[in-house]
Amino acid sequence: MTAILWDHFLERQTADSVRGMTMKALGIHLLIELWSCNRQKIDNLDYLERIMAHAAEIAGATVLKSAFQDFNPQGVSGVVVIAESHLTIHTWPEHGYAAVDIFTCGTTVDPWKAAGFLKQELEAEEIQIRDFLRGFPHATGETEEDYGLVGRAACGNTNG
């Protein structure tokens, strides 16, 4: 179902399909491991906040809010709330490792683009992406349309 969103350079594990699980999807959730990153970049709060917002925009999402925090002696945690759900990042500079997750609802946002952008920006030598549908189990459809991949009634339509 997500083949149309797939960038060939990313290693993808279709975890949901491997488990034989079907899901009436309201959204797609990517768990992304980024290994051998640039250790200086992943310890820089301001830089990470900027590129996470940029990643959201590249995916076609609308950034609403963000909250970032750095740690002592190193490491950064950050979340970006988008109209279509969220992006998060947690970094372990001492291991060159960044844990990212991207959850998007609706059909207009492409989370794989954000993943590819972050791999490039953080200079990750290796990436692993596990993708999951979020929503309701037991859907019988096999096409994107059958899965009903739509957002909340007002996915992307914020109050205030």
Active site residues: 85, 90, 105
- At residue 65, what is the residue type? K
- Do 56 and 71 contact (CB within 8 A), yes or no? no
Q: Residue 46 CB, nearest distance to its own copies (Å)?
A: 13
Give the pair of three-digit tokens for residue 31: 């768990």
Pairwise CA distance, residues 20 & 22, whole Å: 7
Give the pair of three-digit tokens for residue 16: 């949901």
Q: Residue 145 CB, nearest distance to its own copies (Å)?
A: 18
Which residues contribute to the site for its own copies (CB under 8 A)? 13, 15, 18-19, 26-27, 29, 31, 33, 35, 64-75, 77-79, 81, 83, 85-86, 88, 90-92, 94-95, 97, 99, 101, 103, 105, 128, 130, 132, 134-137, 152-155, 157-160
Nearer to its own copies, 75 or 111 (CB): 75
3-state secondary structure of 75: coil
Nearer to its own copies, 57 or 70 (CB): 70
Nearer to its own copies, 54 or 90 (CB): 90
Q: Residue 49 CB, nearest distance to its own copies (Å)?
A: 12
- At residue 137, what is the residue type? P
Pairwise CA distance, residues 77 & 53, whole Å: 14
Pairwise CA distance, residues 19 & 13, whole Å: 11
Q: Residue 63 CB, nearest distance to its own copies (Å)?
A: 11
